[in-house]
Structure 1
């Protein structure tokens, strides 16, 4: 029965052509005579001002009409009826809008005209959905640092930046969260088709600002036509051509000569590098007037930016074994247990490999204890991209839209991991493509069908800076892999200093193709606007990910000499490990959904939104079934597709029903107040990367750990990854919860919206979200903590067993305020304030800078429930545009020389302020203090300290952000009692301001000059402090966001 019902829903939708969410708008309403009675058989004409396209409708017996699938833009709605004056209403339709119009005719002659202008900020009377819409004028005008339109997502109520160091941001992507949902829970839609990099659920392509017609973010209680993911629905519409030729040419330029200095950049040295150039243009117009149009744009960006970071490195004396003047513990001779004489290690004791590794550290350049090195290596970001769009209309009302987008990016991040010295960054080349083809066809006077095809491809790599250069062999370490793509330097951790080595998850490369088939019907009858629909998606990803292909070595100050650097010099690592792998990925998955949605105008003042959606998400499988998984039932590896092991490791979840209900009640005769409420169930497809767990099990991936063991000689730098070992080494493994559920979010909201005049509206909302069955991981082979030197795991044949399961939970509650004014007396603005609280037991599948998202105690994951890593208690944003009141026809300086200088100027700005996100205080990742082993996810060893005091300081500073004395290392073989995310990091305040001057060159050509400042007030917005007990910079902040930067631009518009 569970399989039959979804099949019946899909079959019903197929018989009644199906749809997914549409970016198109609709207009419906009623035509009334002066007494308020409906007028039947009245013809309406709805004309698109830009393209000249005309659609008609005839009112039914009850005076109602409906016109669907209208492209966003400016429209004139005309009614001519004998005995009445001609009615003309001008309105601006936004993306996805369902506009209700009550046209009251006036007695008179059709030669007379009654002009009506719709409110610039109309009340939302048809839907319970919450969010924000940013039109093309704002997208192009607001000062966006990097001109990345996705930053506008943060102007929506409930939106907040993603955690620092999150999986998406490390690849150079812009990431954000909405209403307590994770950063990978959003859907990105471009011209009606999904625009997704499925690996981490980030946008596949990012159109240039000048290509965007409108940008919408829906954040809560949206209707059943929206799916795939459960959080923000980001809907972008590109420009189309019109009957008028129009276009732009532009260039934006920055240089460090006008910029402020980063807080941590040494004042006695040249400022870090910074140069940014961006240039491009767009053009659109008619191929056949009123029939066929085209639009195209191109943009290229070149960025060079010094990234400043402070860390600790050995002094020149320490790196040769002289600790006589060191702040570090005096090293002990491991053969006697006594300190070396004079704090100096005899040269004969120093291992040549250890000496060579220590020499890789740069010399200190700051006179600051335990933070003696600062550097500003250069980040590089080069992008070339373009979009091409073609629109064609037939006389019968059918339209065809085709759009192709391409983006090629070359990104280099100098600090891609915990390594704080230059030389170990990552190159991230990325090529994205997206194709959308949409055919809209009338199906009679009250129904329209829209069929769509989408194709997306994202090819991305993450390559370590030293790829192909065998730094291991240069210092005397072996290369584990014979493939030159893996050559580099092992990850080397020395307690008290910056780590060394290339990022351990590199190299990796993937190419993901997504094929989409979608179809849309919109049908209006009487008081009902009905949609029914669905979509099908197939994803194929070919990839490799050479995790730990160079191995790692950890040196600690707790066991051999009491000094981690001395252990390195003597050649005694505490733990080493390396992987031998042959696990190319051929991951495949398919998903489909079906829904039905009815917006029912029950009364003039009441609309109900009723919908039901079904989602099916297939498990990722390997095309060749070349994978093994751990089976908890048998305690052994099982080949997928055999012995009852599903091909994807788990059975598909077939019970993803998503009912949604909303209501909008318009109050009083003035109809200026609307109360809206909604509730809905939303399912999350999740990122494809979690499906890569198929590929990290023996024999295709064999990770060996070499740890101290009683009676076994210690591993040394002479042979750090021994081929033969006196004891059998247990293998790490991966397993899936056999009945893994699709992640689910429940949304609910209650809002009151009030119109203030024709151009202003204020809204206050309560928003709630509950997450359950969220993807998470833990180690099901973790032993109980114990001080015993040998602490066997429950299954001693295996090391850590990463168990991927749907146990995650979350809660979010918020009050949200929104005040908006569309252009009035030269001023427009959008102000948003959110007071919210987000709680969960894991804020993502992968770790971020301040949270491992992996339990300290895998036997008690409920203890992880705490503030989300992205929890921002207070957040305020204000975006505005103000045409200055100077020049001809304005209040001041309307004549004379000042008039020509000051006329046609405007200010555009974005003001942001928020409280700080939390972070987790933990023990050093290489220090397994609980003696429960290390995980392959999270920080490694995910132990936390004891909380012995109040970590909050009354006057925090970058040198001491929290009370480090409030934390203590627990006794060996025990867990700490400190909770997750109990320290609050720095808040954020920022002002971006742009001054624009328009110069009219001709009737149809204007030149725009721009001067913009980002972080105008040059406020230092600090990053998270170092939260690792035992780190030399514990409790200190060692990096900050960008200082003030200036940009100049020129833009020709014709």
Structure 2
């Protein structure tokens, strides 16, 4: 869990003495994943006593108003207090040292929300709208565009919607604003001991504990707000012994243990997964006995996400609208040995690593209580839902709830050798080879089942606790070569040409397979089309349901994903302080995970397009569809990076970089963490599994332009500076020690999919991201020249395709707004005595108070008649906060 959602940097960096960031083409010492590597070394004690005390304060009086906060609402109260202390020194001089660190954070605040709900008139069957040509209007201006009878069975649900607080819109909805509150606390501590055993042996041990909690106020559709609670923590313990065999050979052996203990539950949660009724909630609204209704989606209505999560594009919720409750208790045992050999022209690193994972989870991968989906507001009022999807189980007598408790076990091992060989005085060659392998996970209680033949079989086969969940194929037999060189071609030694190539594996760890829990009899996801919604509405025994299910599965054989990475870099030093670099970076991802439906109806080519015949049947009639998380995707990334660095001189240092990149894939992505996140995000789900080439488009991680400037400038006043060098007394303390620091980022926006509610293509999978057609001569990225948050792009460029055809709009064609972030800090160091400094900090995040807007609503059509969704193209949130100011004080001794 991200309990504090802290976007002010890692508050625990003060215990670290060194950070190393490796972005690409690193040596064979590193593996297991294809992304960057962050290595942090904690501070240690020394022969002198040293330490620090600090505190940072924030409150709402210093912060700007949220851009979308209703002017009638006050700013949410904010109290943020971050504090800590570090202390280290000797126990026995030159032999035994200690280091202690504690950091805490307390925060209470709120988030503004802007959504849409049904108008009072619409609730009576009189659907409201605005006069012709107007997207918004007052209640007095609103008109009645259609009258419908309201089904009495819908009233208990509809009555849970709050009344609007803002302007009226078309299609029967009006704006709703709220400021739900949340509170969080976190405590973090480190104890480290270092012992010099002899001239050749040293030992250190470190114990780290992080404990946090968070309480959220949810304004979901319940008669009164309820709360969500997150309690989490980590315990890390490490013991490391270093032995020097001789001046050229050094060995380090390390043993580590990590325990994660996270819990997510709600105010109506008792005993982990028991659901008594939410306060005042009509028990008849539970489609499954003991489980309140989780999520229902009505085009045009947007109330989802009030609480911890950002607002989604449409959909309202009773209950959590996220997977929960959840419990994660994970243990990781880590054993590592590394040898460093420096001999002649060779600098060799070799070693091995073994990890044992124990993961004990209660993890509901689907919304508890399931979903109901309507095609339009009209179908909602008349009680004609498109479908309902529920996750049920039949292993516990008298219970319909799915069994989602699992105890996973998995092992990982690796060995490597890396040689940095100085072939010539101006040429260093880097040669590395890594072997790594991972064992397929087992479930200690034997609660797993697989479908042997997804195209024919009906019954899942139960696995024992010793059976592997799936097989693992590695096309490189576990090996990952790494090669590179650094060449200084000119006599002045100021020009360096570097290049490298490597293979980096993306191991199938828990983030992929732990969500594949929906297998009978433990759980089964049912989709019932056009259900008769009446209250009370409990499902019957799952075994008696005639509807077929939609399991979430992995293949019986998983191919290990990997990336090929290559770089070419030219670096030149200019003068004594300036360095310029030009880098080319390329990455090709292969066998990356995406989600698709192999039980899709067969298609034919009609009029040169993919078409689903009306009489087409799914290959396996025992199931509606599959949510199949499989390594079927590929990716290609190319980037040009330009960098200018200035080392500190005359008080000024800076680093400026610009990246021009293009990132393309066909539905997956390297480093994606979380199979259900793939399922939940249409950009990671495959629209037409019969034609993967049509899914090729911009990656959801694509950023075309990215400029970053970081700088630090010591003002030239006071002792040791250009002016006031000899100043004393008050002048010395007022003028001296000031510095300005900043980080500026300008980046283009991420791409988003254009989608729609009606299912024209015949795609029946819940994760199917239905896309429309592009109007002849239309623009697939129709961002308005003078856009506003009310309308970001022009939806008239898209049209509803004929029934049976897949939409021809590509993936991720619309580019959402970019971001401009200017963060500024002023620091003043005051020397109190020899070795003692008092530092004052004033930090301004988003200093110019520039609104960085979030993604626009991307659902174009709300029904099969081609009527526009009233929220299409509308932006209702910011991607980053408005200006925030923080003051800090730090004593260093």
* Aligned match of 1:592: 413
Unpaired runs of 5+ residues, structure 1, are 1-167, 177-205, 329-340
Q: Does 1:900 align with 2:733?
A: yes
Contact 1:881–1:906, Cα closer than 8 Å, also in 2: yes
Structure 1 counterpart SS, 2:624: strand
Structure 1 segment 158-557 matched on structure 2, within 5 A: 172=5, 208-323=12-127, 350-351=151-152, 353-369=153-169, 370=173, 372-412=175-215, 423=225, 426-464=228-266, 466-467=268-269, 468-471=275-278, 474-479=281-286, 487-498=291-302, 499-501=316-318, 502-546=320-364, 547-557=366-376
Q: Does 1:972 align with 2:803?
A: yes
Identify the range of structure 1 (895-904 vs 467-476) with the bigger mean alpha-carbon deviation: 467-476
Change in 2 beyond 3 A, CA 1:837/1:628: same
Structure 2 counterpart SS, 1:437: strand
RMSD: 3.0
* Aligned match of 1:57: none
Q: Does 1:566 align with 2:399?
A: no
Please give the alpha-carbon distance, in whole angstroms, between the structure 2 residues aligned to 1:219 and 1:889: 38
Contact 2:342–2:348, Cα closer than 8 Å, also in 1: yes
Q: Does 1:673 align with 2:512?
A: no
Please give the alpha-carbon distance, in whole angstroms, between the structure 1 residues aligned to 2:27 and 2:416: 10
Give, in angstroms, the shift of residue 519 of structure 1.
Answer: 0.3
Contact 1:619–1:691, Cα closer than 8 Å, also in 2: no
Give, in angstroms, the shift of residue 881 of structure 1.
Answer: 1.8
Change in 2 beyond 3 A, CA 1:928/1:470: farther
Please give the alpha-carbon distance, in whole angstroms, between the structure 2 residues aligned to 1:469 and 1:1045: 40
Change in 2 beyond 3 A, CA 1:254/1:899: same
Contact 1:576–1:720, Cα closer than 8 Å, also in 2: no
Contact 1:649–1:735, Cα closer than 8 Å, also in 2: no
1:1032 to 847, 856, 870: 870
Q: Does 1:888 align with 2:719?
A: yes
TM score, norm. by length of structure 1? 0.74
* Aligned match of 1:912: 745
Please give the alpha-carbon distance, in whole angstroms, between the structure 2 residues aligned to 1:414 and 1:822: 48
Give, in angstroms, the shift of residue 241 of structure 1.
Answer: 1.2
Contact 1:733–1:799, Cα closer than 8 Å, also in 2: no
* Aligned match of 1:862: 693
Structure 1 counterpart SS, 2:619: coil
Contact 2:56–2:83, Cα closer than 8 Å, also in 1: yes
2:452 to 628, 631, 639: 631
Q: Does 1:945 align with 2:748?
A: no
Give, in angstroms, the shift of residue 759 of structure 1.
Answer: 4.1
Give, in angstroms, the shift of residue 324 of structure 1.
Answer: 6.3
Give, in angstroms, the shift of residue 265 of structure 1.
Answer: 0.8
Between structure 1 and structure 2, the one with the greater Rg is 1
Please give the alpha-carbon distance, in whole angstroms, between the structure 1 residues aligned to 2:384 and 2:287: 19
Please give the alpha-carbon distance, in whole angstroms, between the structure 2 residues aligned to 1:835 and 1:923: 32
2:435 to 614, 639, 660: 614
Please give the alpha-carbon distance, in whole angstroms, between the structure 2 residues aligned to 1:387 and 1:821: 35
Structure 1 segment 73-92 matched on structure 2, within 5 A: none
Structure 2 counterpart SS, 1:863: helix
* Aligned match of 2:606: none
Please give the alpha-carbon distance, in whole angstroms, between the structure 1 residues aligned to 2:222 and 2:504: 41
CA offsets per residue over residues 715-750 of structure 1, 9 Å max, x none? 444536355999722122244333311110111111
Please give the alpha-carbon distance, in whole angstroms, between the structure 2 residues aligned to 1:325 and 1:595: 67
Please give the alpha-carbon distance, in whole angstroms, between the structure 1 residues aligned to 2:736 and 2:74: 40
Contact 2:222–2:278, Cα closer than 8 Å, also in 1: no
* Aligned match of 1:805: 630
Q: Does 1:1043 align with 2:861?
A: no
Give, in angstroms, the shift of residue 243 of structure 1.
Answer: 1.6
* Aligned match of 2:572: 754
CA offsets per residue over residues 676-732 of structure 1, 9 Å max, x none? 111111111244132125421111102222213xxxx84444536355999722122
Structure 1 counterpart SS, 2:762: coil
Corresponding pairs, count: 821
Q: Does 1:793 align with 2:618?
A: yes
Please give the alpha-carbon distance, in whole angstroms, between the structure 1 residues aligned to 2:266 and 2:870: 26
Change in 2 beyond 3 A, CA 1:875/1:221: same
Change in 2 beyond 3 A, CA 1:364/1:284: same
Give, in angstroms, the shift of residue 481 of structure 1.
Answer: 5.4
CA offsets per residue over residues 608-665 of structure 1, 9 Å max, x none? 111111110222221232211112265244435589x962122453712111111111
Contact 1:751–1:765, Cα closer than 8 Å, also in 2: yes
Please give the alpha-carbon distance, in whole angstroms, between the structure 2 residues aligned to 1:237 and 1:650: 37
Contact 1:777–1:804, Cα closer than 8 Å, also in 2: yes
Contact 1:777–1:854, Cα closer than 8 Å, also in 2: yes
Contact 2:683–2:700, Cα closer than 8 Å, also in 1: no
TM score, norm. by length of structure 2? 0.86
Give, in angstroms, the shift of residue 758 of structure 1.
Answer: 4.4
* Aligned match of 1:956: 787
Please give the alpha-carbon distance, in whole angstroms, between the structure 1 residues aligned to 2:236 and 2:707: 34
Please give the alpha-carbon distance, in whole angstroms, between the structure 2 residues aligned to 1:240 and 1:250: 18
Identify the range of structure 1 (1032-1041 vs 749-758) with the bigger mean alpha-carbon deviation: 749-758
Change in 2 beyond 3 A, CA 1:932/1:668: closer
* Aligned match of 1:1053: 892
Please give the alpha-carbon distance, in whole angstroms, between the structure 2 residues aligned to 1:268 and 1:476: 35
Contact 1:171–1:428, Cα closer than 8 Å, also in 2: no
* Aligned match of 1:740: 558
Please give the alpha-carbon distance, in whole angstroms, between the structure 2 residues aligned to 1:219 and 1:458: 26
Please give the alpha-carbon distance, in whole angstroms, between the structure 2 residues aligned to 1:796 and 1:1053: 70
Please give the alpha-carbon distance, in whole angstroms, between the structure 2 residues aligned to 1:450 and 1:354: 67
Structure 2 counterpart SS, 1:795: coil
Contact 2:389–2:526, Cα closer than 8 Å, also in 1: yes
CA offsets per residue over residues 395-419 of structure 1, 9 Å max, x none? 32311121121111223566899x9
Give, in angstroms, the shift of residue 913 of structure 1.
Answer: 0.8
Contact 1:280–1:300, Cα closer than 8 Å, also in 2: yes
CA offsets per residue over residues 338-385 of structure 1, 9 Å max, x none? xxx995556xx642x522221211111112425511222123332111
CA offsets per residue over residues 513-563 of structure 1, 9 Å max, x none? 111110011112211111211101110111112334312222222xxxx71
CA offsets per residue over residues 175-197 of structure 1, 9 Å max, x none? 99xxxxxxxxxxxxxxxxxxxxx
Please give the alpha-carbon distance, in whole angstroms, between the structure 1 residues aligned to 2:544 and 2:471: 37
Contact 1:945–1:977, Cα closer than 8 Å, also in 2: yes
Contact 2:601–2:617, Cα closer than 8 Å, also in 1: yes
Please give the alpha-carbon distance, in whole angstroms, between the structure 2 residues aligned to 1:413 and 1:391: 41
1:1007 to 823, 832, 838: 838
Contact 1:917–1:985, Cα closer than 8 Å, also in 2: yes
* Aligned match of 2:313: none
Give, in angstroms, the shift of residue 1001 of structure 1.
Answer: 1.9
Please give the alpha-carbon distance, in whole angstroms, between the structure 2 residues aligned to 1:241 and 1:830: 32
Please give the alpha-carbon distance, in whole angstroms, between the structure 2 residues aligned to 1:803 and 1:345: 40
Change in 2 beyond 3 A, CA 1:427/1:230: same
Give, in angstroms, the shift of residue 1045 of structure 1.
Answer: 0.7
